[in-house]
A and B are shown apart, each in its own frame.
Chain A
């Protein structure tokens, strides 16, 4: 049954690979947003270090949000989404495959770039490691929850703005625990509790969100 997940992941990765510019754009958005903050608040290292977990996490969140409208839109436009919905496999698993592919394309690169940005914010080594880990752990939940919004706003005018309106409030817990993990490392409390909760959110998000998104897709394509 999980072959369908793998097949969708492979297909979406192939499609993404053929349009590499899109991956780069979202990534550079993240880099630019993070670089704007020091210009806005001033270059004092102490202040930047204090702000960095929140700034980098909000940047990652917004960057994920930018790529979400494309999650189903292209397949919807060329009709392949309808074919996927007609397939005998559960639509939730198809969506799970798309979510995993979205994370590999949009979430994982953020985690890999984040330590470099963290250096600009004068984060110490252990905090950099936790930052990378927390973004890698948290972004699957962002992709999963975002898929619900992408499905509900599929084909609507002003879909992208609407998507952020629907999804950003639901991202609050991920932001809190993700930025909290880095913050706890900086203050010496240890990030374990935050990372565990973040992993819990990701597991729950990946288990349930694809099925809610599948329900949304059925309503949208109906």
Chain B
């Protein structure tokens, strides 16, 4: 146990070079999975007999929605780590993930609108999933606004962590309340839940795209966390030495 130190890379000084080394790997994986997923989705997957070619936006839309939800949970995890272990890096990771999460939430809403227009004839319906995705986007914006307005970085991390944990407890409540609300309010004119049984190639395309987005998220978060580390540790010797080398 003594030679296994889980917290070795929790120090910004040791994580900075590690993130720098791993980042190209994740960039390469993101491109690889993305190319494979797009090829499968755009060329191999069969045309949907109801929706024609328009359905192919699903290969961006669904993975983006998955990632937007997953990233919020990942941020809440780092927030909990920050509050429990009081490690500096966990707060930086939460902050580094936030813009990507907001981006995916926005992308999910945007592609949803682009998909909705030809399929349902409207850019937006107050469907349960759309509404809860919108609320999730608001939660990301709230987190980023809170963190940006606190000057002391340690306080920003901790306040953000409390907000993330409150948010992650609330997400299921919001989701179910919105779901119930939409079933009460609108008739069954549009059903998004009745997905036709999906061809295998479609599923694989979606999974590959999800993997690609996942790798992209890690790569971008690493790049961002490196910038945050440099900014916050600029008074330390190792950052000064690094800058002098460069």
Q: Which residues on A are within 8 Å of B, measured CB to CB?
A: 145, 148, 152-153, 156-158, 162, 165-166, 168-170, 172-173, 176-177, 180, 183-184, 197, 201, 208, 212, 215-216, 219-220, 222
Within 8 A of A (CB), among B96-111: none
A69 to B144, CA, bound (A): 19
Known contacts: A165-B141, A169-B174, A176-B178. The answer to whether A158 contacts B149 by CB under 8 A is yes
Q: Which of B38-46, B63-71, B162-170, B207-215 contacts A (4 or more CB under 8 A)?
A: B162-170
A170 to B139, CA, bound (A): 8
Chain A: minimal CB distance from B119 (Å): 26
Question: Which residues of A are found within 8 Å of B150, using beta-carbon distances?
Answer: 156
Q: Smallest CB-CB separation from B135: which chain A residue? A: A169
Fill in one digit per residue for B212-226: 1 if any A CB lies within 8 Å of its CB, else 0: 000000000000000
Report the count of interface residues on B (CB-CB < 8 A).
27
Contact yes or no, B146 A180, CB < 8 A: no
Q: Which residues on B are within 8 Å of A, measured CB to CB?
A: 83, 135, 138-139, 141-142, 145-146, 149-150, 155, 158-159, 162-163, 165-167, 169-170, 173-174, 177-178, 180-181, 184
Chain B: minimal CB distance from A48 (Å): 18
Best-surrounded residue of A145, A152, A162, A201 (most CB of chain B within 10 A): A152
Q: Smallest CB-CB separation from A167: which chain B residue? A: B142
Contact yes or no, A152 B138, CB < 8 A: no
Question: Which residues of A are found within 8 Å of B169, using beta-carbon distances?
Answer: 208
Chain B: minimal CB distance from A63 (Å): 20
Contact yes or no, A219 B149, CB < 8 A: no
A58 to B145, CA, bound (A): 23
The listed residue (A165, A197, A220) touching B142 by CB distance below 8 A is A165
Contact yes or no, B159 A219, CB < 8 A: yes
The listed residue (A157, A170, A216, A222) touching B149 by CB distance below 8 A is A157
Question: Which residues of A are found within 8 Å of B174, using beta-carbon distances?
Answer: 169-170, 172-173
